């Protein structure tokens, strides 16, 4: 038996709670992993509370990412004792996930923990940090370099936002942080490298099709009016990466920024991102991340606290990342 966070749905009743689960009921997969850490991402919050139809098969073990040690392997690629990492591929949505002491998954979803990184570090970064790196790499692939001008990061005090801000500042970009928590988080955001901190209300209300040009690039986690206003205020030829929906799934925008200013809107998906691209992102994270900075943006919780924190992350009360020790 192992402990896990099980989500159930019977008729109209949706529930999430700790359960003792029989190992024999683990899903199909060539590799079994003793999970050490998982994390709590915004999407896990949606899954645990049932506020959005993230989970599409029941019962479901929650958790969209994990790190751990291989305990059994039917694959030539992994052997018992290997430290492995997983982000996405539908775990915690359609395949049992990482908020549990054990996981069993297809080998092709796993990769070795990057050299020089401890397992705990990989999950402080987690899916949020890996997504942040995908956004940074997308900006650079589109030609937005540090001398291009100001880069805006929305939801800057959250997981993706904090790490995107840090990575961009480390690479020499001038980064403006947009947050709903100016009073409490300005010092934190400046310590991560923000040159300026702005209140998210400037961008979150319905706006005009075009505004004053400011951003050379942007990392947006909010969607909705925020994303529309970010596009409307991006400079000629600038690039906006969109990865989230913290304000909403809608996109109440006009085509004006795209057809009059040549603004490019780049979608970023971490879940089904091809393996070479995710390995490139993790390789860069392993080299650029300063281990000593990780402590500033993490709160560690046990598996038994996850349900309570699922509500908190959706209400925007979490700073940085939530690391989950699945063995306590």
Ligand X SMILES: NC(=O)c1ccc[n+]([C@@H]2O[C@H](COP(=O)([O-])OP(=O)(O)OC[C@H]3O[C@@H](n4cnc5c(N)ncnc54)[C@H](OP(=O)(O)O)[C@@H]3O)[C@@H](O)[C@H]2O)c1
Q: Which residues pair with 223 in a beta bridge?
A: 248
H or E element that contains 83: strand 83-87
**Interaction with ligand X in 41-60: which residues (CB under 6 A)?**
41-43
Which DSSP symbol is given to 37?
A: E
Task: Decide: is 127 part of the binding site for ligand X (CB under 6 A).
Answer: yes
| Pairwise CA distance, residues 266 & 255, whole Å | 14
Task: Decide: is 157 part of the binding site for ligand X (CB under 6 A).
Answer: yes
Question: What are the residue ranges of helices labelled H in 171-289?
Answer: 182-192, 201-204, 224-232, 256-260, 275-288
Tokens of 240: 């906006």
Q: Which stretch binds ligand X (CB under 6 A): 19-27, 55-63, 158-166, 291-299?
A: 158-166
CB burial readout 64-88, b (16+ within 10 A) else e: bbbbbebeebeeeebeeebbbbbbb
Neighbour tally for 130: CB within 10 Å: 23
| Pairwise CA distance, residues 218 & 153, whole Å | 6
Q: In a 10 Å sphere around its CB, with 0-12 CB exposed, 13-18 middle and 19+ buried, how is residue 205 labelled?
A: exposed
- Shortest Å, Cβ 296 to ligand X: 15
Q: Which residues pair with 100 in a beta bridge?
A: 4
Q: Which member of 29, 68, 97, 180 binds ligand X (CB under 6 A)? A: 180
**Mask of contacts with ligand X, 255-294, x by CB under 6 A?**
-------------xxxx-----------------------
Q: Which stretch binds ligand X (CB under 6 A): 70-78, 89-97, 159-167, 288-296?
A: 159-167
- Which CB atom, from 173 or from 188, has the smaller least distance to ligand X? 188
Q: Which stretch binds ligand X (CB under 6 A): 27-35, 55-63, 177-185, 206-214?
A: 177-185
- Which CB atom, from 36 or from 93, has the smaller least distance to ligand X? 93
Q: Which stretch binds ligand X (CB under 6 A): 3-11, 55-63, 78-86, 243-251?
A: 243-251
Report the chain's terminal Cα–Cα distance, integer Å: 15
- Shortest Å, Cβ 219 to ligand X: 10
- Which CB atom, from 26 or from 176, has the smaller least distance to ligand X? 176
| Pairwise CA distance, residues 110 & 278, whole Å | 11
- Shortest Å, Cβ 34 to ligand X: 25
Number of residues that bind ligand X (CB under 6 A): 33
SS3 percent helix, strand, coil of the chain, rounded to 5, is 35, 30, 35
260, 231 in Cβ contact below 8 A?
no
- Shortest Å, Cβ 148 to ligand X: 23
- Which CB atom, from 147 or from 183, has the smaller least distance to ligand X? 183
**Interaction with ligand X in 208-237: which residues (CB under 6 A)?**
221-222, 226
- Which CB atom, from 32 or from 204, has the smaller least distance to ligand X? 204
Neighbour tally for 318: CB within 10 Å: 18
Helix 275-288 to helix 119-141 angle (10° resolution) is 110
Q: Which member of 232, 313, 323, 324 binds ligand X (CB under 6 A)? A: 313
C-beta nearest to ligand X: residue: 158
Residues that bind ligand X (CB under 6 A): 41-43, 127-128, 131, 155-161, 179-181, 200, 204, 221-222, 226, 243-247, 268-271, 313, 316, 318
């Amino acid at each position: 038996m192992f402990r896990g966070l099980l989500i159930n749905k019977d008729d109209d009743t949706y529930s999430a709670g700790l359960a003792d689960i029989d190992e024999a009921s683990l899903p199909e997969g060539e590799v079994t992993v003793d999970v050490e850490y998982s994390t709590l991402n915004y999407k896990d919050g949606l899954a645990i509370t049932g506020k959005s139809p993230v989970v599409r098969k029941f019962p479901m073990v929650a958790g969209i990412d994990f790190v751990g040690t291989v305990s059994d392997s039917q694959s030539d690629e992994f052997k018992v004792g290997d430290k492995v990492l997983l982000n996405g591929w539908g775990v915690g949505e359609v395949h049992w996930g990482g908020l549990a002491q054990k996981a069993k998954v297809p080998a092709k979803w796993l990769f070795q923990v990057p050299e020089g990184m401890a397992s705990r570090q990989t999950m402080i970064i987690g899916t949020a940090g890996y997504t942040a790196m995908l956004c940074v790499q997308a900006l650079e692939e589109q030609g937005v370099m540090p001398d291009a001008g100001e880069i805006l990061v929305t939801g800057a005090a959250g997981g993706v936002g904090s790490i995107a801000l840090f990575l961009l500042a480390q690479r020499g970009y001038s980064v403006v942080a947009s947050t709903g928590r100016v009073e409490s988080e300005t010092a934190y955001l400046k310590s991560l490298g923000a040159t300026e901190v702005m209140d998210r209300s400037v961008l979150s209300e319905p706006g005009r099709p075009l505004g004053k040009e400011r951003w050379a690039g942007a990392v947006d986690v909010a969607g909705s009016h925020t994303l529309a206003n970010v596009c409307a205020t991006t400079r000629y030829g600038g690039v906006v990466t969109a990865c989230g929906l913290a304000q909403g799934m809608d996109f109440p925008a006009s085509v004006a920024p795209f057809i009059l200013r040549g603004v490019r809107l780049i979608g970023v998906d971490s879940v089904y991102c091809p393996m070479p691209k995710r390995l490139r992102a993790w390789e860069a994270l392993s080299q650029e991340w300063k281990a000593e900075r990780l402590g500033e943006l993490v709160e560690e919780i046990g598996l038994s606290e996850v349900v309570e924190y699922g509500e908190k992350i959706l209400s925007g009360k979490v700073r940085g990342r939530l690391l989950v020790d699945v063995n306590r």
